Amino acid sequence: MLNNLKVKQINKELLLNAQSKLDELIELFEPCLVSLTAPDRKKLDKISAQYIKFLELSYELALGSPELFPASLKASSFGENLASAHELWVLINKIDNLRNNISDTKTLIGNHAMENALAFYNSVKIAARRDIPGAKVMYEELKPAFPPRRK
């Protein structure tokens, strides 16, 4: 089934263009982004998609009942944080989707390349056994680079 999957060749120009756009995104977001340490990450709640409904409902109710909103907090900050978090979740989902598709494509292309390399390696190995000139030197060079078999 996987042999039927064909990958359109990704040319150098496309990769350079993508790299440039990623650099632009990094530069665009750099002033706004925070880099947490591992201990800091552990201390913070992980706010996943399952919390969106709770966050949105809390905000709606807070707007409708401002007298219940703690005086030490600002409803406007709550709204801004919620809006930013929501937009970042949307962005992250798109990035994750793109990353997964790029990773799958890399895996498939890598497997195609491995099939080619193995076919060449086996051809060189056979040629080395038959004492074809130059084959033994190539085989000796390829042999240590051959990846160990998975168990």
Q: Half-sphere exposure of residue 88, counting CA atoms within 13 Å on the CB side? A: 13
For residues 65-78, average pLDDT:
88
For 2-33, the pLDDT digits (tens) are: 666 777 888 999 999 999 999 999 999 999 99
What residue ranges do the domains of the chain occupy?
11-145
For 93-103, the pLDDT digits (tens) are: 999 999 999 99
Structure tokens at 42: 């552990």
Task: Give the dihedral of Cα atoms 122, 125, 131, 135; nearest 10 deg.
Answer: 90
